[in-house]
Structure 1
Amino acid sequence: MSQSPHSPHQTDAGAPSLVANIGPIGGQALVEGVMMRRAGAWGAAVRRLDGSIATTVATLPRDGEGVRRIPLLRGPVSLWESVSLGTRAMLWGAKERGTADGKGYSKGGMALTTLVAATLAITFLLVIPATVPHMLGIDGRWAFNAAETFLKLGILVGYMALISLNREVKRTFSYHGAEHMTIHAFEHGVALEPDQIRRFDRRHPRCGTAFLLLVVIVSLGVHLVIGDVSLPWLLASRILGLPLIAGLAYEVIRFAGLHRHTTAGRILMAPGGWLQTLTTRPPDDDQIEVAVAALRATVSAEVDSGTPAPAEPVPAAVAGVGA
Structure 2
Amino acid sequence: MKPSGIGGQAVIEGVMMKNKDEYAIAVRKPNKEIVIEKSTFVSAAEKYKIFKLPIFRGMLSFVESMIIGSRTLTFSASFFEEEEEVKPSRMEKAFSKIFKEKAESVIMGITMLVSVILAIGIFILLPGFIAGLLTEVVQSRVLLTIIEGCIRILLFVSYVAAISQIKDIKRMFMYHGAEHKTINCIERGYELTVENVKRQSREHKRCGTSFMFIVMFVSIIFFIFIRVEQQWLRYVIRVLLIPVIAGVSYEFIRLAGRNESKIVNILSRPGMWLQALTTKEPDNDMIEVAIQSVEAVFDWKEFLNTNKAKTSRNKSARKTVKNSKTNNGNENSKLNDNSSKENNKINQNKNINNMKIEETAEEIIAKKESLKAKSKVVADSTLQHLEADKRNDIEEQNNQKKDDLSKDNKHRSEKHKKSGNNNSKSSEGLKASDKKHPVDEETAAAIGELKGNPYIDEEEDDEILRALDRYLFINEKSKEEE
Task: Give the shorter-chain TM-score range.
Answer: 0.7 to 0.9
The residue aligned with 2:188 is 188
Determine if contact 2:16/2:293 at 8 Å carries over to the other structure: yes
Q: Over residues 145-184 of structure 1, what are the superposed CA-to-partner deviations in whole Å (9 max), with x where a residue is unaligned?
A: 1110011011000000000111111100000000000011
The aligned length equals: 282
Please report how far the alpha carbon of residue 142 of structure 1 lies from its aligned counterpart in structure 2 after TM superposition. Answer: 1.9
- Quickly say closer, same or farther: Cα 1:285–1:123, change in 2 above 3 A: same
Among residues 38, 61, 67, which one is paired with 1:78 in the alignment?
61
Deviation track 1:289-322 (CA, whole Å, cap 9, x = no partner) reads 1101111112159x9xxxxxxxxxxxxxxxxxxx
**Partner Cα distance (1:39, 1:3) in 2:** 17
Matching residue within 23, 26, 51 for 2:7: 26
Which stretch shifts more, 111-120 or 241-250?
111-120
Aligned-partner SS, 2:225: helix
Deviation at 1:67, TM superposition (A): 3.3
Give the distance between the partners of 2:271 and 2:2, measured in 1 at CA.
Answer: 17
- Paired with 2:203 and 2:39, the residues of 1 have a C-alpha distance of 27
Q: Which moved more, 1:194-203 or 1:57-66?
A: 57-66
Q: Which has the higher helix share?
A: 2
- Specify every segment of 5 or more residues in structure 2 that has no aligned partner in the other structure, as ranges: 93-102, 303-482
Change in Cα spacing, 1:179 to 1:142, as seen in structure 2 (3 Å) is: same
Aligned match of 1:319: none
Residue 217 of structure 2: aligned partner? 217
- The residue number in structure 2 matching 1:317 is none
Match of 2:289 in 1: 290
Give deviations 1:231-263, integer Å, cap 9, x for gaps: 11211111111111111111122222232x111
Question: What amino acid is aligned across from residue 248 of structure 2 in structure 1?
Answer: L
- For the residue of structure 1 that corresponds to 2:45, the secondary structure is coil
- Structure 2 residue aligned with 1:121, among 119, 122, 141? 119
Which of 86, 109, 112 aligns to 1:111? It is 109
CA deviation vs aligned residue, 1:11-70 (integer Å, no higher than 9, x gap):
xxxxxxxxxxxxx01000000000000113111100011110000112332652323421
**Map of 1:59 onto structure 2:** 40
Distance 1:236 1:68 in 2: 24
C-alpha displacement at 1:109, in angstroms?
A: 4.1
Matches within 5 A, 1:273-288: 273-288=272-287
Q: Is the 8 A contact 2:26 2:292 kept in 1?
A: yes
In 2, distance between residues paired with 1:60 and 1:300?
A: 19
Residues 115 and 62 from structure 1, CA distance in 2 versus in 1: closer, same or farther, beyond 3 angstroms? closer
Residue 270 of structure 1 is matched in structure 2 by 269
- 1:282 offset after TM fit, Å? 0.2
| Alignment-derived partner of residue 227 in structure 2 | 227
Greater mean deviation of Cα atoms: 190-199 or 213-222:
190-199
For residues 166 and 43 of structure 2, the distance between their equivalents in structure 1, rounded to whole angstroms, comes to 39
> Following superposition of structure 1 onto structure 2, how do residues 244-255 of structure 1 map, counting pairs within 5 Å?
244-255=244-255
Output the CA distance in 2 between the equivalents of 1:62 and 1:231.
37
- Corresponding residue of 2:177: 177
- 8 Å CA contact 1:3–1:25 kept in 2: the answer is no
Distance 2:67 2:114 in 1: 16
What is the CA RMSD across the aligned residues, in angstroms?
A: 2.2
1:40 aligns with 2:17: no
- Counterpart position of 1:90: 73
The match for 1:198 is 198
2:224 aligned with 1:241, yes or no?
A: no
**Normalization by structure 2: what TM-score?**
0.55
**Amino acid corresponding to residue 121 of structure 2 in structure 1:** T
- Paired position in structure 1 for 2:3: 4
Higher RCO by CA contacts (8 Å cutoff, separation 6 or greater): 1
2:30 counterpart residue number: 49
Cross-structure match for 2:336: none
* 8 Å contact kept, 1:178–1:291: yes
- Aligned partner of residue 226 in structure 1, secondary structure: coil
User: Tell me, what secondary structure is at the counterpart of 1:122?
Assistant: helix
CA distance in 1, matches of 2:52, 2:114: 32
Shift in CA distance, 3/85, structure 1 to aligned 2, threshold 3 Å: farther
Of 287-296 and 191-200, more deviation after overlay is shown by 191-200
AA in 2 matched with 1:175: Y
- Residues of 2 paired with 1:72 and 1:204: CA distance? 22
The SS at the match of 1:64 is helix
Larger radius of gyration: 2
Q: Is the 2:36–2:293 Cα contact (8 Å) retained in structure 1? A: yes
Aligned residue number for residue 474 of structure 2: none
Q: Which residue of 2 aligns with 1:20?
A: none
| 1: CA distance, partners of 2:51 / 2:263 | 24
Structure 1 unaligned segments of length 5 or more: list them. 6-23, 304-323
Q: Which moved more, 1:41-50 or 1:244-253?
A: 244-253
